Amino acid sequence: MYRLLIILISFFYTSTTGAQYYLRGEIKDNRGKKLEGVTIHLQSKGSVPFLSGKDGDFGIPLNKIADSIYLSLPGYETTKAWVHAGIFQQLTLNMLPNTASLYQKNLASVITNLNPSQTSLYAGMGESYSGLIENGFIQASQYPETGFSLNIDKAAYSNIRRFLSNEMYVPIDAIRTEEMLNYFSFENKNKNYSNHFQLESILTDCPWNIESQLLLINLSAPKIKLDHIPPSNLVFLIDVSGSMDHPNRLPLLQSAFKLLTANLRSIDTVSIVTYGGNVSIALYPTSGAEKQTINTVIDSLSANGETPGENAIKVAYNLAKGSFIQGGNNRVILATDGDFNVGQRTEKELEEMIVGYKESGILLTCLGVGMGNYKDSKLETLSKKGSGNFAYIDKIAEAEKVLVNEFTTTLYSVARNAILNIQFNKEAINSYRLIGFDNKKDAVADSTAKLSGGELGSGHNSIALFEITPTKKYMPSSLAAVAVEFESNYSSQKETDKFNLTNKLSSLIEIDSSYRRSIAVAAFAGVLRKSSFMNAYQFNQVYNLAATACNPTNKLHNELLQLIQKADKIYNPSKRKKPRNH
């Protein structure tokens, strides 16, 4: 009996002194969002790190009942707290100011007096587009200053081409004028090899309103010399789900990525992540010199299963982090029809997920394909929040244009968070209207929304158009002042380039044909979307204007003219050829 008592006492003492405690809890940000991937350090564990799980939860064994905990996550304030294993911990990380601003609704331009009830989300045929509100005229005497976000997105034009080629009406919210202008911007010669922007402006007649004039701004981004192009760390994130099993989807993307691979160098690194049924790393980081290896993996892809887009994005970003090149071009290239049907699906959920990765220095390019269930709104959201760009691939020629002819513009950023601010001279301008850069309905309705800058690629020419009504007093020499704010990739510092615009009117027929073509493209967009500011203008007038600016030997120019004619026949059925009577 005595020996048994000694054994029990010894057991009790041993179990008490070597007791294991378990610290449990969850981590959220100050908005209540659960945070995954928070690095956790405990004082008693030294330098051994732990990570929070998918729902912000964690469970860590301790050899004492209380400890000091340290939490860190890029974009958030580092937090220290005293924790007790007997209490379920609910910990909060506060966003840094720059991170908090990313979660606000972003405006494309700063325009007043917009009515958020004028449009709604389009979901015809299963496709989705963000509702837009067309910019109206603003009195310069009240609001002389405005601004808009700069980007290289050009998805709208090729998507519109897809609709018209199939003799279909174009959803109004799919018509984004600035992207249509971007589509032709590479034709404007850019020899700007400095570290700053260059600007040219033209003041000319307005073809759809004799009472107005047009101010065209051509902003040339810095251009990287070929021998200075930094090494790339690219992750091809390819949707191989069942919805991609069409000739104009996965097979088209396979051809597109092989075109891109042909441009890669030995200093470039490529990885491939696929998702369809499950998420798979099809190719671990591989030198761009191994083209046969890369192409073999691309050719082996086949479509099947559902679309776990959420997890795929996480895997792709983590793979990009693992092969991150300091000072290089680190980018995930997402190619999909945008139909994420598993995991986080709404634009808001996608925004919150992608913003969490933005601080890592990895950019996002989105390539959209397909029709019928194409989710334009989701891909636009991802590219904007991921500090990247967005293109729509409807045929192999478009893939060649985006990934070969405009390779450096598409994939090599020279400026981030770029915004153009313009202050009109109230003595010269009575009112003005920014053409394009229309705001999303939900951003206008949100009083906290703010203007957010975009990414500009090497050598990109940004074309912006204002319809203005001049004052009738006198004509001062200064028309407006422009300030371009951006973060340079060369210095990572905020910079501002300033320009003065002169008040010198040139007739429409005398200006450079590339500028006249841009005006025709803007008119095409306005007539397509039945803009109230172009009620009297017709497709045949758009065609006649475009014809004066198009080179008959240029395929893109001829295609533009053909699309205008197609649109005229679709929107004006009476103009279609009538069958002969026998």
Q: How far apart, in whole angstroms, are the C-alpha atoms of residue 535 and residue 336?
A: 37
Q: Where are the beta strands (DSSP E) in 32-72?
A: 39-42, 50-51, 57-62, 66-72
Question: Which pLDDT belongs to residue 547?
Answer: 97
Q: Which two tokens stand for residue 138?
A: 């603003």
The strand pairing partners of 432, in sequence order, are 138, 468
Q: Taking a C-beta distance cutoff of 8 angstroms, is the pair 286, 293 a contact?
A: yes
Q: Which two tokens stand for residue 573?
A: 């059925």
Question: For 447-460, what is the HEC assignment?
Answer: CCCEECCEEEECCC
CB atoms within 10 A of CB 470: 17
Question: Which pLDDT belongs to residue 10?
Answer: 44
Q: Which of 243, 278, 260 is nearest to 375 (CA)?
A: 243
Query: What does pTM read for this prediction?
Result: 0.75
Helix axes 177-184, 513-528, angle to 10 degrees: 150
Q: Which two tokens stand for residue 538?
A: 């017709």
Q: How far apart, in whole angstroms, are the C-alpha atoms of residue 62 and residue 43?
A: 11
Q: Taking a C-beta distance cutoff of 8 angstroms, is the pair 366, 382 a contact?
A: yes
Q: How far apart, in whole angstroms, are the C-alpha atoms of residue 395 and residue 249?
A: 9
Q: Taking a C-beta distance cutoff of 8 angstroms, is the pair 223, 190 a contact?
A: yes
Q: Taking a C-beta distance cutoff of 8 angstroms, is the pair 504, 250 a contact?
A: no
Q: Which two tokens stand for residue 365?
A: 């390019």
Q: How far apart, in whole angstroms, are the C-alpha atoms of residue 359 and residue 73?
A: 10
Q: Taking a C-beta distance cutoff of 8 angstroms, is the pair 295, 316 a contact?
A: no
Question: Which pLDDT belongs to residue 38?
Answer: 87
Under DSSP, the state recorded for 357 is: H
Q: Which two tokens stand for residue 252?
A: 């088209």
Over residues 330-354, the pLDDT tens digits come to 999 999 887 665 455 555 666 777 7
Any idea how long the chain is? 582
CB atoms within 10 A of CB 362: 23
The strand pairing partners of 487, in sequence order, are 416, 494
Q: Which two tokens stand for residue 187?
A: 């034709």
* Sequence-ordered list of residues with C-beta below 8 angstroms from that of 420, at least 6 positions apart, any chain: 147, 148, 150, 217, 219, 462, 464, 482, 483, 484, 485
In 366-509, which residue ranges form alpha helices assigned H by DSSP?
376-385, 396-400, 407-411, 441-445
Q: What separation in angstroms does the CA of 345 have from each of 188, 309, 339, 342, 348?
A: 39, 8, 9, 7, 8
Helix axes 309-322, 347-358, angle to 10 degrees: 10
Question: Which pLDDT belongs to residue 347?
Answer: 57
Residue-by-residue pLDDT tens, the chain, 582 positions: 444 444 444 444 444 344 488 999 999 988 788 887 788 999 998 888 898 887 888 999 998 999 999 998 877 788 999 999 889 999 999 877 655 554 554 545 555 444 443 333 344 456 778 788 889 999 999 999 999 888 888 889 999 999 899 888 999 989 999 999 999 876 656 677 787 899 999 999 999 999 999 999 999 998 888 778 899 999 999 999 888 888 888 999 999 999 999 989 999 999 999 998 888 999 999 999 999 999 999 999 998 877 666 788 889 999 999 999 998 999 999 998 876 654 555 556 667 777 777 777 888 888 988 876 677 777 777 777 777 788 889 889 998 888 888 888 888 888 888 999 999 999 999 999 999 988 755 544 444 446 677 888 888 889 999 999 999 876 778 999 999 999 887 666 789 999 999 999 999 999 999 999 999 999 999 999 999 999 899 999 999 999 999 998 999 999 999 999 999 999 998 765 555 554
Q: Taking a C-beta distance cutoff of 8 angstroms, is the pair 407, 157 a contact?
A: no
Q: How far apart, in whole angstroms, are the C-alpha atoms of residue 560 and residue 463?
A: 17
Q: What separation in angstroms does the CA of 550 have from each of 17, 207, 514, 520, 547?
A: 86, 17, 8, 10, 5
Burial class (CB in 10 A: 0-12, 13-18, 19+), 245: middle
Structural domains present in the chain: 16-95 (2.60.40.1120), 101-224+414-571 (2.60.40.1230), 230-411 (3.40.50.410)
Q: How far apart, in whole angstroms, are the C-alpha atoms of residue 425 and residue 1?
A: 103
Under DSSP, the state recorded for 431 is: E
Q: How far apart, in whole angstroms, are the C-alpha atoms of residue 130 and residue 123?
A: 9
Question: Which pLDDT belongs to residue 312?
Answer: 85
Burial class (CB in 10 A: 0-12, 13-18, 19+), 132: buried
Q: Taking a C-beta distance cutoff of 8 angstroms, is the pair 342, 308 a contact?
A: yes
Q: What separation in angstroms does the CA of 344 have from each of 313, 350, 358, 426, 503?
A: 11, 6, 17, 48, 51
The sheet carrying 269-276 orders its strands as 278-287, 269-276, 232-239, 329-336, 363-368, 389-392
Q: Which two tokens stand for residue 459?
A: 């050598």
